[in-house]
Structure 1
Amino acid sequence: MQIKQEQIKLNSWKTWKRFTLSNDRGIELSCLDFGGIITEILAPDKHGQKENIVVGYKNYEDYLDNPNFFGALIGRVAGRIEGSSFSLNGETYQLPPNEGENHLHGGPGAFHQTIWQTETFEKENTVGIVFTQQWEDGHNGYPGNLDMKITYTLDNNNQFSITYQGSADKDTVLTTTNHSYFNLSGNLKTGIQKHNVTFDSSQFVELDEALIPTGNKLDVNGTVFDFQEGRNIEDGIHSDNQQNIYAGHGYDHFFTFDKNPGAKVSVVEKNSGRKMIVETDQPGMVMYTSNGLGEGLQLKERESAPYLGVCFETQSSPASIHHEGFPSCFLPAGEDYYSRTVFQFGLVE
């Protein structure tokens, strides 16, 4: 097990830290103190060839803006908040709109655009980084002074875990995630159309044309949203289901897990032989298949294009802010927020 730290000099006045975590079985993960951004994960294929399995920029400067949120920590609220406002305890809170009239992924200067305080640790079978930061009451319109602690840990079982801990001194809303785009083909050799995904979810959240939850939950049975027995992502890309069309011909939907805690998502890419298991204590996830990823961005291995990565954004549902019956984002003052998601890297047996 090993952890390395180095300086990334963007210009004469801006320097970031880059950390590389590596275990004894061929997994290497690189990330930044800026946004907690995961820039690269190297994992062996069935022939032992180590390749990158996440989408990242060729040039570090491009992470400054990062409109696609590649690899970044997301908060205070992951997802879209309708109308950039919400009511809590009789008060209405206005948030900065950053996607049309709506508020996306915490807004500008949120988790994904913050220099985090970092502390590394190295043990016999684990290495990791602890990210900490505070946000003032009223930052981007959210109530409460917020303290966050997020821990990245890599172990010798090829498990990479993210633990999120937080508390605020006022009633507030909070649900966090990581926005890595996975592509198990390795070095973006192909798109993610033939990635086969399996997870237990009998319902997903209906979206309108602006990708805002309508307040309805839809049954997956008989649709391309049924992943209970596994299906290729391309099924939703080629689907004429109105929900897939709204999402830009693919998926950008919140699925509620039937088996929770301990919900599992299995992802298999047959050509490389790679397999990833995502295990979480969260009540659901947004699966986003990079339908809106345009062309022309300089990525590490190639130019960008739609369907180059798939995100598994484990979280509660921001629909709970405006609608009843959804996994809640509400965090009472003084109570501890805790969630954990584990990514297990391996090969198809």
Structure 2
Amino acid sequence: MEVTIKRFGELDGKTINKISITNHNGMGLTCLDYGCIITEIRVPDSKGDIENVVLGFDNLEDYLKYSPYFGAVVGRVAGRIKDGRFSLDGNDYVLAKNNNGNHLHGGLKGLDKVIWDAKVHAEGPVAKIEFTYESTDGEEGYPGNVSLRTVYTLTDANELFVEFFGTTDRKTILNLTNHTYFNLTGNAKSTILGHTLKLDSERFLELDENLIPTGNVIDVEGTAFDFRKGRKLSDGPASSHEQNLFAGKGYDHPFVLSKKKSATIELRCDDNGRKVEVETNQPAVVVYTSNQLEGDFLLSGGAKPEPYLAICLETQNYPDAINHPDFPSTVVDKGEEYYSFTKFTFKTV
């Protein structure tokens, strides 16, 4: 494994570092200690050409000014919490509101906007980047001092493991995810509408006009949300289903994973043979097809932002679960450990 650490910029008088790992196959991972942001994942296509398959920026200033959570860890709780409020053990908590009166992705300064401590461990066919951060009681409105650890592991089998660990000194809620924007065309040469997505999911969560779960769970049968046998992502923008329209003519929905097999998610680009298989211990994945991606900026490699330029596969618990007793719990008590595991395996077909 080849490891390099370089200065990427400075924030609040602190140096932001860029950490790169390359395995013996030429696959590479680059990330920052700011927000644990994954800036690049470099993988081969069926011809052996290695290109970056995620969206990002070449400088820190663009991440600070423009980024819609490109590649970042988001939390303490990913997704939206309705009205930025929840109750726990009879106590009411008011969170930072940063999305139409609701709380989104951890608030105004979530985990994507803090500097983490980073250590790199490389030995043989495995290299790990371990990030740690102490989130203090009351941060963005959340209770409890929470010790957090994010670990990215790259192997010579072209596997990328994303793991989250958390412990708290007081009962709280946790639901972390990584918000990487994938585009398997390489260097964002075209949109992801020609990508094929396969999901082992029979149901998805209904959303309201503000993209917050209503509490209803919808069967995918007969809809553009049925990815069980694989379907092109272009079916979302073409769909007249109310849920696709709510999301801005595409997808921004939590899918309930069936857990019938290990690789529950598969994304494929038939034009170049790149494929990524995803396994997770989480009960859901939020599929977001960057329906509103736009702006007056350039991405790494010179690509211009446009709708459907990438897809996010945000493995996590159900959004707004704390306000829905029927959803799986996101509560973590003192003495418990929060743990989230996702493996991305990059292949060619």
**TM-score, normalisation: structure 2:** 0.97
Aligned pairs for 1:112-123 within 5 A: 112-123=112-123
* Structure 1 residues 282 and 120: CA distance shift in structure 2, 3 A: same
Aligned-pair CA distance for 1:261: 7.9
Aligned to 1:87, the other structure's residue is in SS state: strand
Instruction: Give 2:348's aligned residue.
Output: 347
* Structure 1 residues 89 and 263: CA distance shift in structure 2, 3 A: farther
Aligned pairs for 1:1-349 within 5 A: 1-10=1-10, 13-259=13-259, 262=262, 264-301=264-301, 302-348=303-349
Deviations 1:42-88 (A, max 9, x none): 11111111111001123321112444100001110000000001011
Aligned-pair CA distance for 1:11: 7.6
Aligned-pair CA distance for 1:27: 0.5
Structure 2 CA distance, aligned partners of 1:66 and 1:327? 33
Aligned-pair CA distance for 1:300: 1.0
Opposite residue 182 of structure 1, the aligned amino acid is: F
Structure 2 CA distance, aligned partners of 1:140 and 1:317? 20
In structure 2, stretches of 5+ residues that fail to align are none
Aligned-pair CA distance for 1:9: 2.9
Identity of aligned residues (%): 45
Structure 1 CA distance, aligned partners of 2:317 and 2:242? 24
- Contact preservation (8 Å) 1:252, 1:289: yes
Aligned-pair CA distance for 1:277: 0.4
Structure 2 CA distance, aligned partners of 1:263 and 1:144? 35
- Contact preservation (8 Å) 1:45, 1:347: yes
Aligned to 2:99, the other structure's residue is in SS state: coil
Structure 1 CA distance, aligned partners of 2:59 and 2:18? 13
- Contact preservation (8 Å) 2:78, 2:177: yes
Aligned-pair CA distance for 1:260: 6.0
* Structure 1 residues 161 and 176: CA distance shift in structure 2, 3 A: same
Aligned to 1:170, the other structure's residue is in SS state: coil
Structure 1 CA distance, aligned partners of 2:57 and 2:25? 26
Aligned-pair CA distance for 1:169: 1.0
Opposite residue 313 of structure 1, the aligned amino acid is: E
Structure 1 CA distance, aligned partners of 2:325 and 2:11? 48
Structure 1 CA distance, aligned partners of 2:213 and 2:90? 22
Deviations 1:14-37 (A, max 9, x none): 521100011011201110000000
Aligned-pair CA distance for 1:153: 0.5
Structure 1 CA distance, aligned partners of 2:27 and 2:319? 33
Structure 1 CA distance, aligned partners of 2:299 and 2:67? 14
Structure 2 CA distance, aligned partners of 1:328 and 1:253? 19
Aligned-pair CA distance for 1:12: 9.6
Structure 2 CA distance, aligned partners of 1:327 and 1:12? 38
- Contact preservation (8 Å) 1:263, 1:281: no
Structure 2 CA distance, aligned partners of 1:137 and 1:65? 27
Structure 1 CA distance, aligned partners of 2:212 and 2:54? 27
Structure 1 CA distance, aligned partners of 2:54 and 2:189? 12
Structure 2 CA distance, aligned partners of 1:304 and 1:10? 25
* Structure 1 residues 316 and 12: CA distance shift in structure 2, 3 A: closer
Aligned-pair CA distance for 1:236: 0.7
* Aligned length in residues: 348
Aligned-pair CA distance for 1:253: 0.4
